[in-house]
Amino acid sequence: MKTKIVFSEKCLHYGGWHIEGPQRVKMAHEILKEKNYTFLEPDSASEEDLLKAHDADYIWNLKKGLVEDPDTPAYDNIYKHARLSAGGAILAAKINGFSLMRPPGHHAGRSGAALGVYTRGFCYLNNIAIAVKTLNKPTLILDIDGHHGNGTQEIFQGDEKVVYVSLHRYPHYPGTGAYSEGNCLNFPLPADCGEQRYLETFDEALGMVNVGKFEVVAVSVGLDAHLGDLASLGLTENSYLEIGRRIAALKKPVFFVMEGGYVGEQNGKDIDQLLRGCDEKTG
């Protein structure tokens, strides 16, 4: 059975000039539509949902638009857009789907910027963290974005219900994730390391985790590790197919949340391959 996609055109209504602009999701949506995926419209996350992962003071500032930093502008109605993206992650978690929404989230910590990094890297609310907290089940988080998810690590550091695993380019923004810390397992990789090394590292990472203790796998899907994208690790469409197969082999309910990936057409192709890899073993 094909994974369902969570998407709303409302997430295209801001940020046209920015690299994290609507085109990167719009083009992916068009390609996935051609592939006959089913799309579902999300509701916005409640403030109660947001407070499971973020401090009340930060939510107040976000409501007021007091969140400007060099990478993350205070767009008009950004609180509304961010809540809808978080709601997309919550719906994806409930249906084992893929949230194709923006803004992304894995650099957003409890109080915004996380782990000593000034900027929030295009992120306002940590969508995957909110979804995992809302599910409240033992969860393995796999972060395949080319950048380290410093916000996700900060939120779940020391959480006995969660193990966070990240494969990312290092040294690179945000400059964190050089080593593992407790329940947060980090696998830094050099730029353009290529598919073989990446998949070998992915297998190594999964081999270090007691998968049986988890009820859910949550995947932060950053596609900027694709060859030539913003955090290139030299991956290809085939790489995402193989990642999907490995995730399917875990034999756990899984949901996906869009993070980075800045070449819209390529994003759609990579998502299709990732989900094909998952669905061919679970369908």
Active site residues: 107
Helices assigned H by DSSP within 68-191: 78-95, 127-135, 150-156
- Taking each helix axis from N to C end, the angle separating 237-248 and 195-207, rounded to the nearest 10 degrees, works out to 20
Dihedral over Cα of 92, 93, 98, 104: its sign:
positive
Question: For strand 184-189 and strand 98-99, is the pairing parallel, antiparallel, or unpaired?
Answer: unpaired
Cα dist from 39 to 91, 225, 267, whole Å: 12, 25, 17
Place of tokens 């209504």: 13
Tokens, residue 49: 């949902």
Distance between CA atoms of residues 57 and 51, nearest Å: 10
Q: What are phi and psi of 6, to 5 degrees?
A: -95, 125
Closest listed residue to residue 104, CA positions, set 119, 116, 86: 86
Tokens, residue 250: 């875990």
Distance between CA atoms of residues 177 and 78, nearest Å: 28
- Taking each helix axis from N to C end, the angle separating 264-282 and 23-34, rounded to the nearest 10 degrees, works out to 40
Distance between CA atoms of residues 165 and 141, nearest Å: 6
